[in-house]
């Protein structure tokens, strides 16, 4: 007799986290052009760029996903963050960050700039998030690793 039960796929060990406002606008512009709402690429791009609700909704979704990842890393909201290639001087360093949600984490761990792109990978097994954050002072990207803060990390301070 043949076994007909299908094996369930193994859960993903890592998944991506992305915030790229430019890509969101480009995708919306493409949709506007393909649907005939906009007649030219220029008009579609302008319409997409002015759709503040779209950006706000997408950012809320990003914050929700980022928050879920952070909570999986540390339910206590205590993180050890290591960074490389930071800013125009390409500095390296680390910090202990305490944050109750993604917005608080970003205000404490991200550079003070309003426009940035984040491309990251979360390793579920090791509970580690690695990401590249690109902005005007680091167009090629700053590299970060986030994990739960440990007792030995606090002794380093």
Q: How confident is the model at residue 12 (pLDDT cuts 50, 70, 90)?
A: confident
How do residues 39-76 score in pLDDT, each as one tens digit?
999 999 999 999 999 999 999 999 999 999 999 999 99
**Strand runs (DSSP E) across 3-113, as ranges?**
14-19, 78-86, 91-98
- Maximum CA extent, the chain: 67
> What average pLDDT score do residues 8-14 get?
71
Number of domains in the chain: 1
In a domain, 3, yes or no: no
How do residues 106-157 score in pLDDT, each as one tens digit?
999 999 988 999 999 999 999 999 999 999 999 999 999 999 999 888 887 7
Say if residue 8's pLDDT is above 90. Answer: no
Question: Helix, strand or coil for residue 58?
Answer: helix
In a domain, 129, yes or no: yes
Say if residue 6's pLDDT is above 60. Answer: no
State the residue range of the domain holding 49. 14-156
Report which DSSP code applies to 121: E
Question: Helix, strand or coil for residue 49?
Answer: helix
pTM, two decimals, is 0.86
The pLDDT score that the predictor gives to residue 4 is: 53
Say if residue 10's pLDDT is above 70. Answer: no
How far apart CA 81 and CA 91 sit, in angstroms, is 14
Say if residue 29's pLDDT is above 70. Answer: yes
In a domain, 149, yes or no: yes
In a domain, 4, yes or no: no
């Amino acid at each position: 007799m043949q076994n007909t039960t299908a094996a369930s796929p193994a859960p993903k060990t890592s998944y991506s986290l992305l915030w790229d406002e430019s890509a969101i606008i480009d995708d919306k512009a493409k949709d506007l052009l393909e649907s005939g709402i906009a007649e030219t690429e220029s008009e579609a791009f302008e319409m997409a760029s002015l759709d503040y609700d779209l950006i706000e909704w997408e950012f809320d979704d990003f914050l929700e996903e980022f928050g879920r990842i952070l909570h999986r890393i540390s339910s206590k909201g205590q993180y050890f963050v290591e960074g490389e290639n930071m800013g125009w001087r390409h500095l390296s360093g680390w910090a202990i960050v305490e944050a109750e949600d993604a917005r608080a984490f970003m205000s404490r761990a991200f550079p003070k700039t309003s426009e940035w792109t984040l491309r990251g990978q979360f390793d579920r097994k090791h509970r580690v998030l690695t990401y590249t954050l690109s902005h005007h002072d680091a167009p090629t990207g700053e590299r970060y690793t986030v994990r739960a803060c440990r007792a030995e990390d606090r002794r380093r301070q």
